[in-house]
């Protein structure tokens, strides 16, 4: 008897298991499958990503479904379109020897009528993203009032992405007597709230360490020259306008110096180290908690007591001497089930240390490039545009409007937008315009295509795009790559250099795919939101520098002077108290006609 047989799976499923090449059940499968087959019970299962959770609920679900009936009996909620499709495909493989089990995926960004049609044909199992599911329920396109099983997959991720209300709504449409199976990598408070609220004395299984947040932290390194640490740090901050971070230095002196420089350059920074009085340290920590300080520069010893949950980035300005210390540093982010990024600025000679850390933490680092000046400009512009869009209008503004309108008289909307965003763009552009690439030669070029770096020819066969979705929308580089490839219908290697930021991303394709890409993403919506793809102004994709448009740099010096003088003057004294000088940037792409015309004239 194989180990899978011992779990109680029926013949047809065992055949499918064999076809899939699964030999031994994973731990979560071994624990969950017998429970789910034997009892009608609620279950909370905690296991890290990649431990085979899909099969742990998939096999029991299929075995329990009545395939004679067309009624929808099982609902699986999952955070992203990619996961929905993945689960659906897996379930189809598991059920290949069942007579007539239909599994239908429901997710945003694809035709709702087509999905409704598939449901109507009879789907015993529905795999859905919460947003689209809610939509379909409210339109009466799906009926989940008779389900026996509801599975919340990647529950922590769904809650992270803000689906709590949607899930609540969806569950209110399901019968009380169903069984609910919750699968999650971590158990943050929000997940236990769901478990308490919607489940009846669930059984609990845990694989590995319950509170281990290891996989929620992504580790990245950036190779630069020894003297470029500070400019590299600035670029990392400029690439992440909403950064909330701890920057680790090795000595008290470096800590103080880096913090001072950041403050001088207009960032919301503060220093935390042992030479400060207790009172000073309390002040700094209070400002940090209130997010008045976005970049807390600290020594390892001083940072020990930091108990702040939402830290987005840990930046290793220098690597620590002890490998063990790295674990403590990176553990400051990715807490409470949130994801985080630990960035390391290294020189080539320190690369050995990266390997040693990888062995220690049993996780791979991703080799990243310090963004080029133009990438930063683009990011900042987009951030500014979003900020303008989300700004609440102050009612007092009304009183001044007549006079303001006089000033803007005769300027049309498009020009006005261009002018508004140029206020910031010019500042960043002038600052970064003449700055060189900080990446050391042949550093981290893994996977890079030859020809992309062609000095004067900005595109040389490869086109870089900007897309307005990112981590916030649940993408990482792999899933975004898949999404673009699948949506446009491209081949396996056609999308490359995918770089996912918080709320937007970049990627490359060969030039001959550009038309297809742009036409696919015209008026294209996912979960009710427009997904917009533009040709990026920065064709190299993190690597190349190219031509500059001289006519654009007129007036540059004046603005740069203004930037530095204001940085050194007003901002210096009241470090943590005021918002940063660098607010943000403006969009690359406000009018469609700029798309191609401007593609190459910045560089």
Q: Which residues bind ligand ADP (CB under 6 A)?
A: 22, 25-26, 29, 47, 49-55
Tokens of 198: 């919607």
286 interface partner picked from Mg ion, ligand ADP, none, CB below 5 to 8 A per type: none
Q: Does 219 bind Mg ion (CB under 5 A)?
A: no
Q: How far is the CB of 65 from ligand ADP (least distance, A)?
A: 19
CB burial class (10 A; 0-12, 13-18, 19+) of residue 330? Answer: buried
Tokens of 557: 């010096």
Q: Tell me if residue 415 falls in helix, strand or coil.
A: helix
Q: Tell me if residue 36 falls in helix, strand or coil.
A: helix
Kindly state the number of chain residues that form the binding site for Mg ion, as judged by CB under 5 A. Answer: 1
Kindly tell me which of 50 and 140 has the beta carbon lying closer to Mg ion.
50
Q: How far is the CB of 88 from Mg ion (least distance, A)?
A: 12
Q: How far is the CB of 54 from ligand ADP (least distance, A)?
A: 3
Kindly tell me which of 26 and 363 has the beta carbon lying closer to ligand ADP.
26
132 interface partner picked from ligand ADP, Mg ion, none, CB below 5 to 8 A per type: none
50 interface partner picked from ligand ADP, Mg ion, none, CB below 5 to 8 A per type: ligand ADP
55 interface partner picked from ligand ADP, Mg ion, none, CB below 5 to 8 A per type: ligand ADP
Q: How far is the CB of 2 from ligand ADP (least distance, A)?
A: 11
Of 287, 358, 325, nearest to 574 by C-alpha is 287
157-176 mask for Mg ion (x: CB under 5 A)? --------------------
Q: How far is the CB of 76 from ligand ADP (least distance, A)?
A: 11
Dump the DSSP string for 309-342: S---EEEESS--SSHHHHHHHHTTSS-TT--EEE
Kindly tell me which of 53 and 132 has the beta carbon lying closer to ligand ADP.
53
Q: What is the number of the residue whose Cβ is closest to Mg ion?
A: 53
Rounded CA gap, 326 and 346, in Å? 13
Burial 375-387, CB ≥16 within 10 A → b, else e: bbbbbbbbbbbbb
Kindly tell me which of 36 and 55 has the beta carbon lying closer to ligand ADP.
55
Question: Which residue has tokens 């943590």?
Answer: 576
Q: How far is the CB of 200 from ligand ADP (least distance, A)?
A: 24
Kindly tell me which of 47 and 295 has the beta carbon lying closer to ligand ADP.
47
Rounded CA gap, 218 and 368, in Å? 12
Rounded CA gap, 266 and 590, in Å? 28
* Sole window of 46-54, 445-453, 478-486, 518-526 interacting with Mg ion (rule: CB under 5 A): 46-54
26 interface partner picked from ligand ADP, Mg ion, none, CB below 5 to 8 A per type: ligand ADP
240 interface partner picked from ligand ADP, Mg ion, none, CB below 5 to 8 A per type: none
Kindly tell me which of 16 and 142 has the beta carbon lying closer to ligand ADP.
16
Alpha-carbon torsion (322, 327, 328, 330), positive or negative? positive
CA distances from residue 87 to 91, 220, 489 in whole angstroms, order as listed: 6, 29, 20
φ, ψ of residue 586 in degrees (nearest 5)? -115, 165
* Sole window of 50-58, 275-283, 310-318, 332-340 interacting with Mg ion (rule: CB under 5 A): 50-58
Kindly tell me which of 215 and 280 has the beta carbon lying closer to Mg ion.
215
Rounded CA gap, 587 and 579, in Å? 21
Q: How far is the CB of 135 from ligand ADP (least distance, A)?
A: 25
Q: Contact with Mg ion (CB under 5 A): which of 53, 219, 234, 338?
A: 53
Question: Starting at the edge strand that comes first in sequence, how are the strands of the sheet with 203-206 ordered?
Answer: 103-106, 125-128, 74-77, 149-152, 179-184, 43-46, 203-206
Residues within the interface to Mg ion (CB under 5 A): 53
């Amino acid at each position: 008897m194989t180990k899978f047989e011992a779990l109680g799976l029926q013949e047809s499923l065992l055949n499918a298991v064999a076809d899939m090449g699964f030999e031994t059940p994973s731990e979560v499968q071994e624990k969950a499958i017998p429970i789910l087959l034997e009892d009608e019970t609620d279950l909370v299962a905690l296991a890290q990503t990649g431990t085979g959770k899909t099969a742990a609920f998939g096999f029991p679900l299929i075995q329990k479904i009545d395939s004679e009936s067309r009624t929808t009996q099982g609902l699986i909620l999952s955070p992203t379109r990619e996961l929905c499709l993945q689960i659906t495909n897996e379930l189809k493989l598991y059920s290949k020897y069942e007579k007539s089990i239909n599994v239908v995926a429901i997710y945003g960004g694809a035709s709702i009528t087509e999905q409704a049609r598939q449901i109507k044909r009879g789907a015993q199992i529905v795999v859905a993203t919460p947003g689209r599911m809610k939509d379909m329920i409210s339109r009466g396109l799906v009926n989940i009032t008779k389900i026996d099983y509801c599975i919340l997959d990647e529950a922590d991720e769904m809650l992270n992405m803000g689906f709590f209300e949607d899930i609540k709504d969806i569950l209110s449409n399901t019968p009380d007597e169903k069984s609910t199976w919750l699968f999650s990598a971590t158990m943050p408070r929000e997940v236990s709230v769901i478990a308490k609220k919607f489940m009846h004395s669930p059984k609990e299984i845990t694989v590995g360490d319950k509170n281990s947040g290891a996989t929620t932290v992504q580790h990245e390194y950036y190779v630069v020259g020894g003297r470029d640490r500070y400019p590299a740090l600035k670029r990392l901050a400029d690439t992440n306008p909403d950064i909330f971070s701890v920057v680790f230095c090795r000595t008290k002196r470096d800590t103080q110096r880096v913090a001072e420089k950041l403050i001088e350059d207009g960032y919301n920074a503060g220093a935390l180290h042992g030479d400060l009085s207790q009172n000073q340290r309390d002040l700094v920590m209070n400002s940090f908690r209130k997010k008045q300080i976005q970049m807390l520069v600290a020594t390892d010893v001083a940072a020990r007591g930091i108990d702040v949950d939402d830290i987005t980035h840990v930046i290793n300005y220098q690597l620590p001497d002890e490998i063990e210390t790295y674990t403590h540093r990176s553990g400051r982010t990715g807490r409470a089930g949130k994801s985080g990024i630990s960035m390391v600025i290294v020189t080539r000679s320190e690369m050995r240390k990266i390997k040693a850390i990888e062995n220690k933490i049993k996780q791979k680092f991703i080799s990243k490039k310090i963004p080029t000046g133009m990438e930063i400009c683009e990011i900042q512009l987009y951030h500014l545009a979003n900020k303008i869009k989300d700004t609440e209008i102050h009612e007092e503004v009304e009183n001044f409007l007549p006079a303001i309108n006089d000033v803007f008289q005769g300027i049309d909307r498009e020009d006005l937008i261009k002018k508004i965003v140029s206020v910031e763009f010019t500042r960043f552009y002038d600052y970064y315009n003449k700055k060189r690439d900080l990446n050391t030669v042949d550093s981290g070029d893994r996977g890079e295509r030859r020809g992309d770096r062609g000095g004067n020819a900005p595109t040389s066969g490869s086109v870089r795009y900007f897309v307005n979705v990112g981590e916030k929308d649940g993408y990482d580089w792999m899933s975004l790559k898949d999404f673009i490839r699948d949506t446009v219908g491209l081949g396996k290697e056609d999308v490359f250099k995918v770089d996912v930021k918080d709320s937007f991303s970049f990627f490359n394709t060969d030039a001959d795919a550009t038309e297809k890409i742009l036409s696919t993403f015209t008026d294209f919506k996912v979960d009710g939101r427009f997904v917009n793809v533009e040709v990026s102004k920065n064709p190299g994709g993190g690597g190349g520098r190219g031509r500059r448009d001289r006519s654009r740099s007129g007036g540059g010096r004046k603005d740069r002077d203004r930037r530095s003088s204001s940085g050194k003057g007003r901002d210096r004294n009241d470090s943590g108290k005021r918002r940063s000088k660098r607010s943000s940037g403006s969009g690359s792409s406000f009018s469609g006609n700029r798309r191609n015309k401007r593609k190459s004239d910045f560089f």
